[in-house]
Structure 1
C-alpha cells in the first residue's frame, strides 16, 4: 500500500508537535509513516506572496491535510487558516488533530473553517493519526470522530 501524501499545518507555537511527528516517522519502534509534503527547509523570506506560493505548491502535492490544533490555532489567519483554505479548495481529506487529547471537535480551539466540512477530529497520538491517514475519507458536511471501539482496537484505553 502506498503512503498518503500529507501536508501538516500548524501554528508556529506548535512546531514541536510537528517535529515529534517526524520523530515518530523516523523511529523504527513506532509504526507510523506518511509522505511528508511539508516544506523541507524554513523559508528565509518575509515576502508573504512568495511564502504562500511555496506552501501552495506543497499542499498541491498532498491528498491529506492534517491541522494540528493547539490553543491559538483558531486565531491564526495569515498562514494557518490560509493553508487550510488551500487544502479544502484542493479537495484534501482534512484531519483535525487536537493537541489537548480531545477525541472530538472542540469549539474553543477549532478554526471555524474546519467545522462542518466533513473533517474528522482525533487526539495527537501516533496510532490514531496513522489510522486516520490510512482510513478516513471526507464525509458529508458535518464533523466526525472515531468511536471507542476504534481506539480500543488500536490499543488505547
Structure 2
C-alpha cells in the first residue's frame, strides 16, 4: 500500500475523476492510498496570484504529481499547465493518467509539457495507479509505461 505524497492536477471538467480517486481511498475494497496534497477546499477568490501561491504550497508538499489527462487538459493553461510547470520545477515524479483508458502516452491528448520528462502513462484505474505510486522512480527523460505483464499480474485482462 502506498503512502506517497501526491498532488492531483486536473481540468475542472474532470473533477469527478478526482472525486472517484478520493472514494477509492475511503473504500477498504481497494488497495489504494496516498497522502492527498490537493487543496482541502476550493479557494473562494478571483485573485490569480493568491490562488497560484496556495497551489504552489500544496505542490511543494508532494513528491508525486498525478495529472489526470482528459479531452481538454492539453488546452488548459491558466492553472492546469501552470501546476505541471511547478511540479516539473520541483522535480516531482510525474504520473500521467489517461482518462480514455490508454496504457501509454496519448500523443493527441497529452500536454506537450509532460512529454519526454520521464513520466509514466497509464489508464485511470485504482490498481495500476496504486502500483505506479509504489513502484515508480523518477526517470530522467522519455515517456514510459508499464509492460503488459504488470497489468496481468494486477488482474487486468
Q: Shorter-chain TM-score: which interval?
A: over 0.9
- Alignment of 1:32 with 2:35, yes or no, is no
Say how many residue pairs are matched. 157
The answer to whether structure 1 residue 137 and structure 2 residue 137 are counterparts is: yes
- Secondary structure of the 1:156 match is coil
1:122 is aligned to 122
Structural mapping, 1:1-157, within 5 Å: 3-157=3-157
CA distance in 2, matches of 1:2, 1:154: 15
What root-mean-square deviation, in Å, do the aligned CA atoms of Structure 1 and Structure 2 show?
0.9
TM-score normalized with structure 2 length: 0.98
Measured in 2, the distance between the counterparts of 1:123 and 1:26 equals 20
Question: Aligned partners of 1:104, 1:29: CA distance in 2, in Å?
Answer: 26
Tell me the CA shift for residue 10 of structure 1. Answer: 0.1
Distance 1:51 1:138, change over 3 A: same
Contact 2:96–2:121 (8 Å) recurs in 1 = yes
2:72 & 2:13 partners in 1: Cα distance? 8
Distance in 2 between residues matched to 1:128 and 1:29, nearest whole Å: 15
Q: Deviations over 1:82-127 (max 9, x none)?
A: 0000000001000000000000101110000000010000000000
The answer to whether the 8 A contact 2:96-2:122 is kept is yes
CA contact (8 A) 2:2 2:32 kept: no
Q: C-alpha displacement at 1:140, in angstroms?
A: 2.3
Question: In 2 relative to 1, CA 2–26 (structure 1 residues): closer, same or farther, beyond 3 Å?
Answer: closer
Flag as ranges the 4+ runs of structure 1 deviating above 6 A: none
CA gap 1:135/1:79 in 2 versus in 1, 3 angstroms: same
**Larger deviation, residues 112-121 vs 138-147:** 138-147
The 2-side partners of 1:99 and 1:79 are apart by: 19
Distance in 2 of aligned mates of 1:129 and 1:20: 13
